[in-house]
């Protein structure tokens, strides 16, 4: 239970940091904060403790491949931001991320068997 509380506190800290940075002159740094491996660190500790070093290596490799859907998301936001409302832009970019992530998961399962 304490572990779950700690994870919630970390998430709240990240949200507050993003909010503060988004109001500053260096607002663009708010886009870097979610890339700090807060949740990756938690996931890596859990995977390593439960599955061992080889599973941790595979998790890290999958994490590298997962940059592709994120890059697609960012590219879509970059392209559509001046052309649509914020919600439409972010919604469409998220749909693109979901499609790319689903393709990544499918491909990973196909080739890792």
Does position 84 have pLDDT exceeding 70, yes or no? Answer: yes
Sign of the torsion angle spanned by Cα atoms 58, 63, 65, 69: positive
> What is the count of structural domains for the chain?
1
34 located within any domain: no
Q: How far is CA 32 from the centre of its chain?
A: 11
109 located within any domain: yes
Q: Is the model more confident about 30 or about 95? A: 95
83 located within any domain: yes
**Residue 113, pLDDT score:** 60
Q: Residue with structure tokens 């998790």?
A: 59
3 located within any domain: no
12 located within any domain: no
10 located within any domain: no
Distance CA 90, CA 83 (A): 12
Residues 45-68 have pLDDT tens digits of: 999 999 999 999 999 999 999 999
Mean pLDDT score, 71-75: 97
Instruction: Please list the alpha-helical segments (H only) found in 2-112.
Output: 2-22, 38-51, 53-65, 67-80, 86-111
Torsional class of 56: left (φ above 0), alpha (ψ -120 to 50), beta (otherwise): alpha
- Which residues span the domain enclosing 105? 57-113
């Amino acid at each position: 239970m304490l572990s779950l509380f700690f994870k919630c506190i970390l998430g709240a800290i990240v949200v507050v940091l993003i909010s503060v940075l988004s109001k500053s002159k260096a607002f663009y740094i708010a886009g870097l904060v979610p890339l700090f491996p807060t949740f990756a660190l938690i996931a890596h500790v859990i995977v390593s403790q439960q599955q061992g070093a080889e599973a941790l290596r595979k998790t890290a490799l999958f994490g590298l491949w997962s940059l592709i859907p994120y890059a697609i998301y960012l590219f879509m936001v970059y392209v559509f931001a001046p052309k649509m409302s914020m919600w439409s832009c972010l919604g469409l970019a998220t749909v693109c991320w979901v499609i790319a992530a689903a393709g990544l998961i499918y491909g990973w399962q196909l080739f890792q068997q």
